[in-house]
Amino acid sequence: MIKGQKEICEGIVLGSTQYQDDSAIVSFASQEGLLSFLAKGVYKNKSSLKALLISGNHLKIEYTKHQDGPLIASSVYLLGDASLVYTDYKMSIFMMLLNELSVSLFRYGDSYPYLDVSAIIKSLQEGGDSLSLSLLLLGSLYKSLGLKMNCQTCVICGKKENLVSYSLKDGGFICKDCLSKTDLKVKDKMDLYVLRFAFMDISPDILLKRAPKNSGIHVLNELLENLVDYFDLKPIRTYPLFLKSVSDN
């Protein structure tokens, strides 16, 4: 057996890929950033590591760290069980969107808002609104990526009054006076409210709020399109499924 250093970390499972016959490579978001674990024998019937196969699980992992080698998971402790999410179609689609966004936007070692995401997943399990939680998810991902949104003052002049529009590319709200100097249009007041909502700090009260459907979908579209353009991503494949699931509600 190769000797290595034993360490412990806490975070959430983002996804897994089968490796060889009975093992898996697990993407894990932790306080140290995104990590990749080798879960040996995880597909065996008596494996104690099966919690690593459920995306969204909040876990504490003990692992062995080898020099110039993979992080090898040795034991797991379940802090938050996400398995019930997959008993519902809408919640399953939400998790698929979460997984695709995480893999597309973050690389191993990157900082990731795992505490916020874990709270969002828990709220989803408890009957939270998928559309509202997806907006909070995007807000958390934006902030973690350094794409902060100024929803309090005009990003051009700094005034707090008469905020009537916003520019995601410029990073926030725009007042009436400054808007006249751009080619942008006045936004619906509910769109302004929803964008501000998306970037609120995650708290139990915020997780219970529901965004208005039409403006929620409109702002969600804008936020995703901005991410795709900013990072030159491929289209988010799971988004049409998610959009249909919240539109049919």
pLDDT value for 32: 83
Name the band, by pLDDT with cuts 50, 70 and 90, for residue 1. Answer: very low
pLDDT value for 236: 94
Checking if the pLDDT of 249 tops 70, the result is no
Q: Mean pLDDT, to the nearest integer, of 102-125?
A: 90
pTM above 0.85, yes or no: yes
Runs of H (alpha helix) within the chain = 89-105, 114-125, 130-144, 176-179, 189-198, 204-208, 213-230, 239-247
C-alpha pair distances (Å), 167 with each of 129, 155, 227, 233: 26, 9, 13, 20
Q: Which domains does the chain have, with CATH numbers?
A: 5-80 (2.40.50.140), 85-247 (1.20.1440.120)
Write out pLDDT tens, residues 5-54. 789 999 999 989 999 999 999 999 988 888 999 999 999 999 999 999 99
C-alpha span between 150 and 166 (Å, rounded):
9
DSSP assigned state of 150: B
Closest C-alpha among 82, 81, 62, 72 to residue 7: 62
C-alpha pair distances (Å), 65 with each of 3, 7, 42, 215: 9, 7, 18, 47
